[in-house]
A and B are shown apart, each in its own frame.
Chain A
Amino acid sequence: MSKITLDNLSHSYLDKQNSDADWALRDINLDLQDGGAYALLGPSGCGKTTLLNIISGLLNPTKGKVLFDDKDVTSQTPVERNIAQIFQFPVIYDTMTVYKNLAFPLKNRGMIDSEIDSRVKEIAEMLELTKTLNNRASGLTADGKQKISLGRGLARSNVNVIMFDEPLTVIDPHLKWVLRSKLKELHQKINKTMIYVTHDQTEALTFANQVVVMHEGQLVQTGTPVELFEKPKHTFVGHFIGSPGMNILPCQIQSATPVIDGVKISTNSQIKKSNFSKTEIGIRPEFVSFSKEGIPVKVLKVSNTGRHKIIDTECKSGKIKVLSHPSKDIPSGSAFLSFNKKYTYTYGDSWIIE
């Protein structure tokens, strides 16, 4: 068990890098505390798997260092780093039984048979695999196989970190919940650092204490699910997290106050400079409401999801989504919107102004 530090990591799959786009990862600095449950969240192609493979040692970063407990492990192999990783689709050894699959990583490390036996049985118990221990692994269902992958990761009691690379992709939806809560439960039981890579915000937000959001090879925000929701540091985070995502509207800055369609908006941001190439207002649909005055909009569409109503409206600067209680009456035609100041932020060049 150890603290993991990523120090100025950059990685490129190309030999020569001419522009930012040639980098899969750019200037990553991150501290992962011992025993934490982390999620790396981002859309496909944002570099999260690359980052994971660098932490595990499957990839060598082009630049920067990986430290385990302040010790440089950048040039160490996955075995030396003593980590466990579970992949997107279940990796099992087809020719072996479930038991041998679980015993494999222990055997490779020269553990004696009696110790292997007790450890394998313990893990099987934990993952509810005891009944199938002597079956051939290839005959199991996808979730059973993924449990084996997980079991091989857990089999070694001294691993520094357990990493999951979108492990529930091939699992049926109703089993996803079961496995996910199993993972959460395991984390509490064995108290090891876990890193969970996913593009699914629900998975990330339910699994992790700390969510690391990535976008185009960069870390855009690290925080608790609540922080990400209430105060997105980057418009991408606003968009990506929440359903529907944050409303982002272009605005002008007039004497340190943002203005949309001629209406001054009071926000939680202190605007001290104005030399941005673009400025925007970010407000979550949850914090927009209809009122007597404010931004004039046209109501376009109301969809009732049962839990709440999603109202699509349009002002001159763009579309604004509003979330309201299903029992509330929604004005039709023209209306005015007001924003809850506490959750309204101004963004300069996509980054939050605090």
Chain B
Amino acid sequence: MNKTINQKAWLFVIPVFILVAFNAVVPLMTVVNYAFQETFGNNVFTWEGTRWFKQILRSDRFHSALGRQFLFTGVILFIQVPLGIAIALTMPKKGIGVSVCLVLMSMPLLIPWNVVGAMWNIIALPEIGLLGHTLNDLGFDYNFTQQTGDAWFTTILMDVWHWTSLVVLLSYAGLRSIQPAYYQAAEIDGANRWAVFRHIELPKMKKVLTIAILLRFMDSFMIYTEPFVLTGGGPGNATAFLSIDLVKMALGQFDLGPAAAMSLIYFFIVLLVCWVFYNLMMRNEAQG
């Protein structure tokens, strides 16, 4: 059989190629370019090798920003996942309540991130904000612009308010897809509420929870806008998470080389954690 050889079909791939190039490859390669060189403007570059990477990896500033970042992400995951599951479990299963709850739950997700930051900034103002003023009236010495603990408390509260809904919605979807027969069988087997949760609901929610945790990990690890508007990374550097620190370095100090190196390290950390987590979950899946 004679095959006609026609390479023109490759032309059809060009649009995708251009799209991917401009949207991913070119920007990323620009960053890579900066990460290995030094520039003082005017498009003049000098080769620096791995100097910026070494500098970043050895700097206390990066270590503490990374530490703050893991702490923040850890805390919000620790709060949002159980809280989200708990709310999803108590949500109504039929009737008008379902729509009401779903709309209420979706609200925080629809608000632009900088608005969330601004909202919480105003609410938390010690003198006039609803939250800040109330806390001070109750006798707490609360000032999120000056005290590290208060700044963390407010940032975490804001993130929990903003994003728990995502976990709720995903968990709720997972719960609703469980066939009634499972509950009926458990009822006949005499299972108590905890056993139903432990042996039916939680295993059946595993896939959506994996997605929820992955999404929440990525988003919270890359969080920028909300804390930037709320605290600006302060007081001092107390809430300067990785992305805030990165922007300070890149745009504040104009240290493009180290900032580019930091971006790449940052990117690989996110990638690595997601990869490890995903594989752990899927390995369990394969085992049964």
Give me the interface of A with B, judged by CB distance under 8 Å: 53, 56, 58, 77-79, 83-85, 87-89, 91, 93-96, 104-105, 108-109, 135-136, 138-139, 149, 152
Nearest to A53 among chain B residues (CB) is B184
Judge whether A85 and B188 touch: CB under 8 Å.
yes
Is B23 part of the contact surface with A, judged by Cβ < 8 Å?
no
Judge whether B179 and A89 touch: CB under 8 Å.
yes
Query: Complex formed: what's the CA distance from A154 to B190 in Å?
Result: 14
Judge whether A79 and B287 touch: CB under 8 Å.
no
The 7 closest A-B pairs by CB, nearest first: A136-B288, A108-B190, A105-B189, A91-B185, A87-B181, A93-B199, A78-B188
Judge whether B190 and A96 touch: CB under 8 Å.
no
User: Provided the pairs A58-B187, A78-B187, A91-B182 are in contact, do residues A108 and B192 lie with their beta carbons within 8 angstroms?
Assistant: yes
Query: Complex formed: what's the CA distance from A313 to B288 in Å?
Result: 57
Give me the interface of B with A, judged by CB distance under 8 Å: 179, 181-182, 184-185, 187-192, 195, 199-200, 203-204, 287-288
User: Provided the pairs A93-B199, A136-B287, A139-B288 are in contact, do residues A87 and B190 lie with their beta carbons within 8 angstroms?
Assistant: no
Nearest to B191 among chain A residues (CB) is A108
Judge whether A56 and B188 touch: CB under 8 Å.
yes
Judge whether B185 and A79 touch: CB under 8 Å.
no
Query: Complex formed: what's the CA distance from A196 to B58 in Å?
Result: 72
User: Provided the pairs A95-B199, A96-B199 are in contact, do residues A88 and B181 lie with their beta carbons within 8 angstroms?
Assistant: yes
Nearest to B189 among chain A residues (CB) is A105
Judge whether B188 and A84 touch: CB under 8 Å.
yes
Judge whether A94 and B189 touch: CB under 8 Å.
no
Query: Complex formed: what's the CA distance from A139 to B203 in Å?
Result: 14
Judge whether B185 and A77 touch: CB under 8 Å.
no
User: Provided the pairs A136-B288, A139-B288 are in contact, do residues A93 and B200 lie with their beta carbons within 8 angstroms?
Assistant: yes
Specify which chain A residues have a CB less than 8 angstroms from the CB of B191 in the assembled complex: 104, 108
Known: A93-B200, A93-B203, A149-B185. 16 other contacts (CB 8 A): A77-B187, A79-B188, A85-B184, A85-B188, A87-B184, A89-B179, A91-B181, A96-B199, A104-B195, A105-B188, A105-B190, A108-B189, A108-B195, A135-B288, A139-B288, A152-B189
A-B contact pairs, 13 of them (CB 8 A): A78-B184, A79-B187, A79-B188, A79-B190, A85-B185, A88-B181, A94-B204, A95-B203, A104-B199, A108-B191, A135-B288, A152-B185, A152-B189
